[in-house]
A and B are shown apart, each in its own frame.
Chain A
Amino acid sequence: MSTKKVEEMILAVCRKHPEGVQDTVLEQELPNVSVNDRALAINALLSALKLQILVNPADPSSHIYKASAAADTARLKGLTPEDMLVYQCIQGAGNMGIWTRDMKTRTNLQQPKINKILKTLEERLLVKSVKSVQNASKKVYMLYELEPAKELTGGPWYGPDAFDSEFITVLQDATMSYIKSKGDATLADIVRFIKETVSAGCTQTWYGRHECAAAGVHRVREHGTTSVQRKLVPSACMSARMHACPAILYSASGSQGISKQALQEDDVQRIINTLDYDGKIEGVDLDDDGVEHYRLALMKIPETTAFTSIPCGVCPVFNECVEGGKISPATCVYYQEWLDF
């Protein structure tokens, strides 16, 4: 039997089992093919990148074969077996990514060699490096087309390089304005409000200027090429205490956004919780049905107190201040300023 024919038969079996086949399965399915022919055909397929060899997830001591997609074959063309080894190692790590140190132990390749391969793979847009929010100096690699896991990116709250406090502030403002307008709202209401505003058509513009009926014109900020048009630059409308447009926020982090991390119910709950901790809203079980309703807090925290409206109340050296000492009420510069009419 010619090698070409055997190759085709093997590929057919592999396509029948997209999850991968073990050598024993190939042996059973192709009883007329000798061991030698099978080995030759598999080697030829592997070097032509039509077949992938992977560790069997069910039994790590054995391995399985998987047929490569036609597109993959084209993309991976020209990669050396070592490049493929590293590629497969990265592929196996999924969207959690893999650290170079771990690649070294898994592939048994030297670090400089791995670095060189990674450079090649990155140039060919096959893999990408992602920084973990847990450890900013630790880069992990994953396939280019994958969206990093929430654990790595920190969820929707992280921008490309840092925690996105501004995004949270805008979301808080949007939630507050909704609760204010409704009187009271449940978590489901707030999530629905955000989703409905998205479908109302604030999703189209990602770069440059964004038109929003509620808030006028905002500019959408762009961070690099990959992940960010997550929000408007809200400073102008926020400083004017205008309605923050949640549509942009949600769509930016929703399915159409490049970050592709939709705000889940628990994300919205976290935003609501921060408003509760800020003393701006309070949760009450109005209907005794166990569903919490959020409304503006009845007891407003006072803006100032007698203690903090004098310099000592907010003094950074309050504990060090003693009469007759270096820092003392008589020589105090804060009082000097405060009493300078």
Chain B
Amino acid sequence: MADTAFGGQPPASRGPHACRLALKLVDEALGPVCRKVIGCLVDHGMQQYGELVRASGLAPPQLRAALLVLIQHNYVNCYLKEEPPTLRGPGPSYYLYEVALPRILQSLRVPRFLTHIADDHGQESVRLIHNLLEHGRLRWDQLLKAVCSEAAEEGEGEEPPPDPEVLANKFRSLVMERYVERVPPCNLPPPAQQVHPNARKKKAAPKPGSEEEADLQREQSEVQQRQGYQEARFQLSADLGGDAALIGSEAAAEKQAGKRKRGKDATAEEPAKKRGRKKAGDAGQAAAETAAAEAAAAGAKSAGVAAGQNEEEPVLWRVNYDEFNRRFRNDIIVSTVKLKYGVDAGHAVHGLLLANARFEQTAHTVETVVLSVNDASGALRRAEKEVPDNIDAVLGELSEDVFGLLESRGQGPGGEQFVMNFPRILNLARLLELEAVVKNKFGPHGMRIWRLLLLMGQLEQKQVADLAMLTKEEAREKLYGMLKAGYLALQDVPRTADHAPSRTFYTWRANPGVVNARMASDLYRAAGNLHARLAHEMSKKEELVQLLEAPSVASHVLERREEEIAALRAVTTRLEASLLDLDAQIMLFNDV
């Protein structure tokens, strides 16, 4: 959803309302200078340092400091762009800066991340994740220090300090469960331009020694560099005991994933890699050898750097938001399946999702790998969850349902095998939310009309009134209300070439894709408004807020203003809680 623009529009998570919210969040977290830098990057896209100096109007030292803070908090991505060599020698290279909008926007989700970790991994892990979130990116030794000093401050000698070995173990498991990842190296090439499949041209294999061949090789080496980071992303560093055995387990999982059918989205680089190989093969043995040798050299270099195999470079860690989103997505899938097909089906699907976990690195996967009944039941048993008695029958039935959540892939060694389609069930969850929104906004009759149009396709106003059994006046009022809010579309079908309104049919339709996109953007807008109101309420009581934040205030001063403080707390709690709830909906519509 997040990356699928609808009708040529950018996705809502890059739209104006999302940007407005991101600027507010940066301003709140890091101050106005950082907000200015992010504003420039939002307005102008990826920029070099020099361009940023000109566009932001900030003094270079100030800009440099702001950029460092933003990079430290992972709000800005940094890439090294290397231009092709010219006749005079190697081409210039420069750093490009890009705003990481998803990370800024998802900072709203931090309390949920912490609750999730507290529920599943205990208090030490919460400390680790909390400190990592606070500081953005840290080395392991820095993180350990931060956690220990925080614990010392809080406990003030009452509690024993956390055991570094326990913390290290917790951190290892967080990395292995992909909650924490290595920070991407700043010398990765910028992401490849996404070309629409329809716009892709079939190119003939480049001639050996031609410029096209050099371009192709450069592309391949960039792909390898990115791939290198992906492979090293969750590998433990040497200071965490990242030895061959630990890395081996990761590699084994990868290897197994490779054996199975990959999810359709499994990193955009993959098809390019395959294309590259094929073309290299076509171009002849010599060219292939050269390309392979060069690419291998470049890839090995970058992978080595990324993985920190020489470990001269310290390894920086950061929280992997996408893993949280992936788990929240799974929760949504399981609860929706339980609603639609019952509890047993929910458990069975949960088993498939658990079994699929090690084969997916992102929340944007389209489908699972091929998984058998035994995979699902084994995963449930390992997670100490309930395994339905008739799990094979439940999964078999699900695969026969017309909804198409599961697709059967025949029998395998572990029983019948399935592939699960994520967008289908997620769209169903979104649809339920949309129906509730339409009902709340336009009343039960509005929802009746909306669902009617969704089921029947295109209808005229009179047909809508007839089928929904409403008066013409009410149907008209609801239809135009929904049209204005963007939940319905009106199409004119002229009967004559002059487009005269009297000789034109006007038909109504509800397009779920458009409405999802609209909803996704409205959610950011509403979150922006909530945030603005929260800021307004705080600024109204600025003096009180300062008083509350002051380190030492006489108790009688606070007692005297008890009522005022309670009122302010009630208002801010309601606004903050609503913002959190809204963020859960934002996740469903934008981040999975």
Contacts of B340 in A (CB 8 A): 298-299
Which residue in B436, B449, B452, B470 is a CB contact (below 8 Å) of A304? B436
Instruction: For chain B, residues 518 to 550, give those with C-beta under 8 angstroms from any C-beta of chain A.
Output: 519, 522-523, 525-526, 529-530, 532-533, 536-537
Which residue in B449, B471, B529, B581 is a CB contact (below 8 Å) of A329? B529
Are B529 and A308 in contact, with the CB atoms below 8 A?
Answer: no
Contacts of B448 in A (CB 8 A): 274, 277-278
User: Quick check: is B297 within 8 A (CB to CB) of the other chain?
Assistant: no
Instruction: For chain A, residues 288 to 321, give those with C-beta under 8 angstroms from any C-beta of chain B.
Output: 298-310, 312-314, 318-319, 321
User: Quick check: is A339 within 8 A (CB to CB) of the other chain?
Assistant: yes
Are B526 and A312 in contact, with the CB atoms below 8 A?
Answer: yes
Are B339 and A301 in contact, with the CB atoms below 8 A?
Answer: no
Total chain A interface residues with beta-carbon distance under 8 A: 40
CB closest chain-A residue, reference B456: A277
User: Quick check: is B293 within 8 A (CB to CB) of the other chain?
Assistant: no
Given the known interface contacts A273-B467, A277-B452, A277-B455, the answer about A308 and B437 at a Cβ–Cβ threshold of 8 Å is: yes
CB distance from B325 to the nearest CB of A (A): 17
User: Quick check: is A34 within 8 A (CB to CB) of the other chain?
Assistant: no
Are A318 and B525 in contact, with the CB atoms below 8 A?
Answer: yes
User: Quick check: is A178 within 8 A (CB to CB) of the other chain?
Assistant: no
User: Quick check: is A144 within 8 A (CB to CB) of the other chain?
Assistant: no
Are A339 and B470 in contact, with the CB atoms below 8 A?
Answer: no
Contacts of A305 in B (CB 8 A): 433, 436-437, 440, 585
Given the known interface contacts A299-B340, A306-B582, A330-B532, the answer about A313 and B432 at a Cβ–Cβ threshold of 8 Å is: no
Are B437 and A313 in contact, with the CB atoms below 8 A?
Answer: yes
Contacts of B533 in A (CB 8 A): 329-330, 332, 335
CB closest chain-B residue, reference A324: B532
Q: Bound complex: CA of A308 vs CA of B526, how far in Å? A: 10
Binary A-proximity of B439-481 (CB < 8 A = 1, otherwise 0): 1110010011101100100000000000111110000000000
User: Quick check: is A149 within 8 A (CB to CB) of the other chain?
Assistant: no
CB closest chain-B residue, reference A328: B532
User: Quick check: is B169 within 8 A (CB to CB) of the other chain?
Assistant: no
Are B432 and A301 in contact, with the CB atoms below 8 A?
Answer: yes
Are B469 and A157 in contact, with the CB atoms below 8 A?
Answer: yes
User: Quick check: is A162 within 8 A (CB to CB) of the other chain?
Assistant: yes
CB distance from A300 to the nearest CB of B (A): 8
User: Quick check: is B253 within 8 A (CB to CB) of the other chain?
Assistant: no
Given the known interface contacts A310-B578, A332-B533, A335-B533, the answer about A277 and B468 at a Cβ–Cβ threshold of 8 Å is: yes
Contacts of A329 in B (CB 8 A): 529-530, 532-533, 536
Contacts of B471 in A (CB 8 A): 162-163, 165
Q: Bound complex: CA of A298 vs CA of B336, how far in Å? A: 11
Q: Bound complex: CA of A277 vs CA of B448, how far in Å? A: 5
Contacts of A312 in B (CB 8 A): 525-526, 529-530
CB distance from B576 to the nearest CB of A (A): 12
CB distance from A277 to the nearest CB of B (A): 5
Stretch from B281-289, B360-368, B489-497, B566-574 at the A interface: B566-574
Q: Bound complex: CA of A270 vs CA of B581, how far in Å? A: 38
Contacts of A339 in B (CB 8 A): 537, 571, 574-575
Q: Bound complex: CA of A270 vs CA of B451, how far in Å? A: 15
Binary B-proximity of A30-44 (CB < 8 A = 1, otherwise 0): 000000000000000
User: Quick check: is B416 within 8 A (CB to CB) of the other chain?
Assistant: no
Contacts of A270 in B (CB 8 A): 467, 469
Q: Bound complex: CA of A274 vs CA of B375, how far in Å? A: 43
Contacts of A328 in B (CB 8 A): 532
Are B526 and A307 in contact, with the CB atoms below 8 A?
Answer: yes
CB closest chain-A residue, reference B436: A302
Binary B-proximity of A99-141 (CB < 8 A = 1, otherwise 0): 0000000000000000000000000000000000000000000
User: Quick check: is A168 within 8 A (CB to CB) of the other chain?
Assistant: yes
Contacts of B567 in A (CB 8 A): 341
User: Quick check: is A216 within 8 A (CB to CB) of the other chain?
Assistant: no
Total chain B interface residues with beta-carbon distance under 8 A: 45
Q: Bound complex: CA of A305 vs CA of B589, how far in Å? A: 13
Which residue in A168, A313, A338 is a CB contact (below 8 Å) of B440? A313
Are A279 and B530 in contact, with the CB atoms below 8 A?
Answer: no
Are B585 and A306 in contact, with the CB atoms below 8 A?
Answer: yes
CB distance from A301 to the nearest CB of B (A): 5
Are B437 and A307 in contact, with the CB atoms below 8 A?
Answer: yes
Contacts of A273 in B (CB 8 A): 467
Contacts of B432 in A (CB 8 A): 299, 301-302
Are B526 and A168 in contact, with the CB atoms below 8 A?
Answer: no
User: Quick check: is A323 within 8 A (CB to CB) of the other chain?
Assistant: yes
Contacts of A310 in B (CB 8 A): 526, 530, 578, 582
CB distance from B331 to the nearest CB of A (A): 15
Given the known interface contacts A271-B469, A301-B436, A318-B522, the answer about A307 and B571 at a Cβ–Cβ threshold of 8 Å is: no
User: Quick check: is B151 within 8 A (CB to CB) of the other chain?
Assistant: no
Contacts of A308 in B (CB 8 A): 436-437, 440-441
Which residue in B444, B447, B526 is a CB contact (below 8 Å) of A313? B526
CB closest chain-B residue, reference A171: B469
Binary A-proximity of B261-279 (CB < 8 A = 1, otherwise 0): 0000000000000000000
Q: Bound complex: CA of A46 vs CA of B411, how far in Å? A: 90
Binary A-proximity of B346-373 (CB < 8 A = 1, otherwise 0): 0000000000000000000000000000
Given the known interface contacts A301-B435, A305-B437, A330-B536, the answer about A318 and B585 at a Cβ–Cβ threshold of 8 Å is: no
- Max chain B C-beta neighbours (<10 A), residue from A277, A309, A312, A321: A277
User: Quick check: is B68 within 8 A (CB to CB) of the other chain?
Assistant: no
Q: Bound complex: CA of A79 vs CA of B485, how far in Å? A: 62
CB distance from A20 to the nearest CB of B (A): 39
Instruction: For chain B, residues 207 to 246, give those with C-beta under 8 angstroms from any C-beta of chain A.
Output: none
Contacts of B469 in A (CB 8 A): 157, 165, 168, 270-271, 274
Q: Bound complex: CA of A270 vs CA of B465, how far in Å? A: 12
Are B433 and A302 in contact, with the CB atoms below 8 A?
Answer: yes
- Max chain B C-beta neighbours (<10 A), residue from A307, A310, A341: A307
CB distance from A247 to the nearest CB of B (A): 21
CB distance from B153 to the nearest CB of A (A): 34
User: Quick check: is B100 within 8 A (CB to CB) of the other chain?
Assistant: no
User: Quick check: is B300 within 8 A (CB to CB) of the other chain?
Assistant: no
Are B436 and A299 in contact, with the CB atoms below 8 A?
Answer: no
Contacts of A163 in B (CB 8 A): 470-471
Q: Bound complex: CA of A192 vs CA of B468, how far in Å? A: 24
Q: Bound complex: CA of A157 vs CA of B529, how far in Å? A: 44
- Max chain A C-beta neighbours (<10 A), residue from B440, B455, B530, B537: B440
Which residue in B441, B485, B532, B582 is a CB contact (below 8 Å) of A323? B532
Q: Bound complex: CA of A215 vs CA of B322, how far in Å? A: 56
Contacts of A321 in B (CB 8 A): 529
Instruction: For chain B, residues 543 to 592, give those with C-beta under 8 angstroms from any C-beta of chain A.
Output: 567, 570-571, 574-575, 578, 581-582, 584-585
Contacts of A302 in B (CB 8 A): 432-433, 436
Q: Bound complex: CA of A309 vs CA of B467, how far in Å? A: 30
Contacts of B467 in A (CB 8 A): 270, 273, 277
Contacts of A168 in B (CB 8 A): 469
CB closest chain-B residue, reference A172: B469
Are A309 and B435 in contact, with the CB atoms below 8 A?
Answer: no
Which residue in B447, B570, B578, B581 is a CB contact (below 8 Å) of A279? B447
CB closest chain-B residue, reference A341: B570
Are B585 and A165 in contact, with the CB atoms below 8 A?
Answer: no
Contacts of B575 in A (CB 8 A): 339
Contacts of A323 in B (CB 8 A): 532
Ranked nearest first, the 6 interchain pairs of A and B with the lowest CB-CB distance are: A308-B440, A306-B581, A312-B526, A329-B532, A330-B536, A302-B436
22 A–B contacts, CB within 8 A, in A order: A277-B448, A277-B455, A277-B468, A278-B444, A279-B447, A279-B451, A299-B339, A299-B432, A300-B339, A301-B435, A301-B447, A308-B437, A312-B529, A313-B526, A314-B441, A318-B526, A319-B484, A321-B529, A330-B533, A338-B574, A339-B574, A341-B567
Known pairs A330-B533, A341-B570. 5 more at Cβ < 8 A? A274-B468, A278-B447, A305-B436, A307-B526, A335-B533
Q: Which residues of A contact B (CB under 8 A)?
A: 157, 162-163, 165, 168, 270-271, 273-274, 277-279, 298-310, 312-314, 318-319, 321, 323, 328-330, 332, 335, 338-339, 341
